[in-house]
Amino acid sequence: MILHIDDIAFRYNGKPVLDNVSMSVAKGELVAVLGPNGVGKSTLLRCINGILRPSSGAVMVEDENVLKLSAMAVARRIGYVSQYQTAGKLTAFDAILMGRRPHIRLQVRRRDLEIVDGAIKSLHLEDLAMRPIDRMSGGELQKVAIGRALVQEPRLLLMDEPTSSLDLKNQIEILKLIRHVVREHAVGAVMTLHDLTTAFRYADKCLFIKNGRIHAVVTPREITGDIIREVYGIPVEIHHHNGCPLVIPQ
């Protein structure tokens, strides 16, 4: 098991945000965390990588408690892509190279450069490699952030709305790449998404959060209209196309 979370809780200004959340992610598994705005999806990711400290519970990545590791040690195990990216004066190449920092000792090695070059090619950023990221679109900046996480060579990938700034073509390319990396390298991945149909198409498992608690954990084939109605508060119909569930609001 890549990730195991045991009964974590988190409060903000005294208000419960996450309440006794437990979950697990296996090697080669992509898990989509779903639910309305404000239910704790992003907070869950930040608790997993130690940005936020849960008030109780444990977060284990391959039998190591993340909450007891240094920030650099966490970065060698977990790659994180936040929902909002900050631009700067770095080129795309240098910004992605920053992801190798947890592995670099005294100087950048040939292998570090080769890994960065491979990520740039996988994300089709060759023409943008030397462009400053403050001159990039939101979608281009998001791809750079994903590249930076990939070159960390993490055991676990956390992605908060990784396709939020991307057009349809780039959404599909990114999600195919993420799924390929997860399966090819036997890592685990957790991503939040708002597009349910997209989540059902690419995720191996879907975890629904309601009021800070896990409401359901199912495979895409097990999705029902009742689950969607109970979590989102609207009636829907579920239709299947080529084995993929499609959500149709009534």
* Cα 37 from Cα 109, distance rounded (Å): 43
Q: In whole angstroms, give the CA distance from residue 174 to residue 149.
A: 13
| Phi and psi angles of residue 190, each rounded to the nearest 5 degrees, phi first | -130, 125
Residue 17 buriedness (CB in 10 A; 0-12 / 13-18 / 19+):
buried
CATH number assigned to the domain comprising residue 7:
3.40.50.300
The number of beta carbons lying within 10 Å of the beta carbon of residue 137 is: 12
- Closest among 84, 77, 79, 194 to 147, alpha carbons compared: 79
Report d(CA 99, CA 217) in Å as an integer: 32
Predicted confidence at residue 198, as pLDDT, reads 92
Q: What is the pTM of this model?
A: 0.91
Phi/psi for 129 (5° steps) reads: -55, -35
Q: Among all chains, which residue has been given the structure tokens 């084939």?
A: 221
pLDDT in tens, the chain (250 residues): 999 999 999 998 888 899 999 999 999 999 999 999 989 999 999 999 999 999 999 999 998 999 899 999 999 999 999 876 676 789 999 999 999 999 987 889 999 999 999 999 988 999 999 999 989 888 888 889 999 999 999 999 999 999 887 888 888 988 998 998 899 889 999 999 999 999 999 999 999 999 999 999 999 999 999 999 999 999 999 998 888 999 999 8
What is the reported pLDDT for 85? 66
The whole-number pLDDT of residue 87 equals: 64
DSSP 132: B
Length of the chain: 250
Split into its structural domains, the chain has a count of: 1
Looking at residue 193, its pLDDT comes to 93
Structural domain of 166: 3-249
DSSP, res 102? G
DSSP-assigned states of every residue in 131-191? SBGGGS-HHHHHHHHHHHHHTT--SEEEEESTTTT--HHHHHHHHHHHHHHHHHTT-EEEE
CA 229 to chain centre: 25
Q: Identify the three-state secondary structure at position 34.
A: strand
Read off the tokens for 171.
Answer: 């959404």
